[in-house]
Structure 1
């Protein structure tokens, strides 16, 4: 990484949420060749480059759910997102996570302000739709006001001697957080299937699409098979 501030994106990153969030690839173990070498290890052969037979093998492995060769490729991402996106992401327990802690720092606190607010879908309790009856300027202004008052209260509590670990309780779900996330390719594909879906919340879906953008150049055969 080019800097020592966790809230600054690494060089290889994609911006999301109208530039308010981002995800960066900070480390990687393995390549597409690692997948075919793991799959063919019983033959005692090692390939240095992919050919057409290898591309067919990758497609076969994924189509037939032979997933263990995929687990030899591992990625580490740095994710900057709102708390509510973090909460959805952390439901994927096959990932390993470490997150910035507001018990230890009150620096660089910021909040996500949606560029456009959505309405609740009528037929789906967990879904939303494009707003037709929301006063965007007024409601976004209310959210901004709440962010500012919450931060002011937090700072007032700190000034009064309240510890960070309790004062942070007044900060809203729109607060941005940053976390380190590591996953193998097999479980990453499962994550992307669920989170780049019409059923996923729009905000986390932007991160799933960004992951595909980050990985497609280095994993062209995976991208082709998975229709990235």
Structure 2
């Protein structure tokens, strides 16, 4: 199982894979009662044709399962994409850890002083240039104080017998790391990569999209090269 660390404490882990580029080819060739056993130049040409002309069904016969460990603000953005986007692919699944049932130590995403970003000049969402380091230092310190206070109140509530599903209200939510399994077809995964590597995507979720791409491309090098429309510079940056 392959894994890539993301942000300060997060990661993406490829748990399981069904299929590869050859699966895409054979899912298409079955229409003519044909089958390939090794990827060759003709097969690569077929994959390029399928992607170019939006013949998407062959890309839905391959499945990838990921374990994601991400701040809640990233997980919820990912989840909204799962339930709200028009990617014509119902083959997605999502299961997430819940603090109704678990009481493991709370882990939070804390940007370093150089990672805080200013508000954009011409938009109500997204971010602009980094703030100055002096302000960034104060912001990091303030966030850590908030986390310490919330964690103390959470632990105190639990110690006094308050149920976990209510005690969690004291935890600062957006930076709280959550663990979840995300399973989707190759088409769904490529759609996520395209959407979340776009220039206007939140930087933190871009880092997760890059990790998903790096983990998936080993099994689908030809297909992802055709399906991912984002520039290679965005993936490498």
Question: C-alpha displacement at 1:146, in angstroms?
Answer: 0.5
Question: C-alpha displacement at 1:224, in angstroms?
Answer: 2.8
User: 1 CA distance for matches of 2:225 and 2:201?
Assistant: 22
Which residue does the alignment assign to 1:7?
Answer: none
Q: 1:108 aligned to 2:105?
A: yes
User: Structure 2: which 5+ runs fail to align?
Assistant: 84-89, 233-237
Q: Which deviates further from its counterpart, 90-99 or 113-122?
A: 90-99
User: Structure 1: which 5+ runs fail to align?
Assistant: 1-10
Which residue does the alignment assign to 2:56?
Answer: 67
Which residue does the alignment assign to 1:98?
Answer: 95
SS state at 1:78 partner: strand
2:13 paired residue among 10, 20, 24? 24
Which residue does the alignment assign to 1:207?
Answer: 208
Q: Deviations over 1:186-205 (max 9, x none)?
A: 11111111101111000001
Which residue does the alignment assign to 2:158?
Answer: 158
User: 1 CA distance for matches of 2:32 and 2:105?
Assistant: 53
Question: C-alpha displacement at 1:170, in angstroms?
Answer: 1.8
SS state at 1:58 partner: helix
Say whether the 8 Å CA contact 2:108–2:176 is kept in structure 1: yes
1:44 paired residue among 19, 33, 52? 33
Question: C-alpha displacement at 1:63, in angstroms?
Answer: 1.0
Question: C-alpha displacement at 1:155, in angstroms?
Answer: 0.5
Question: C-alpha displacement at 1:45, in angstroms?
Answer: 1.5
TM-score normalized with structure 1 length: 0.91
User: 1 CA distance for matches of 2:106 and 2:48?
Assistant: 44
User: 2 CA distance for matches of 1:155 and 1:187?
Assistant: 39
User: 2 CA distance for matches of 1:38 and 1:161?
Assistant: 56
User: 1 CA distance for matches of 2:34 and 2:4?
Assistant: 37
SS state at 1:90 partner: helix
2:4 paired residue among 11, 14, 19? 14
Question: C-alpha displacement at 1:80, in angstroms?
Answer: 0.2
Return structure 1 stretches of 4+ with deviation > 4 angstroms: none
After TM superposition, list the pairs within 5 Å mapping 1:145-184 onto structure 2: 145-172=145-172, 173-184=174-185
Which residue does the alignment assign to 1:216?
Answer: 217
Say whether the 8 Å CA contact 2:120–2:126 is kept in structure 1: yes
TM-score normalized with structure 2 length: 0.88
Q: Deviations over 1:51-106 (max 9, x none)?
A: 10110111111111110000000000000000110100111125311111101111
* Number of equivalent positions: 217
1:78 paired residue among 67, 87, 107? 67
Q: Deviations over 1:142-201 (max 9, x none)?
A: 001111111101011111111000111121111100001100011111111110111100
RMSD over aligned Cα, in angstroms? 1.4
Which residue does the alignment assign to 2:130?
Answer: 131
User: 1 CA distance for matches of 2:38 and 2:105?
Assistant: 44
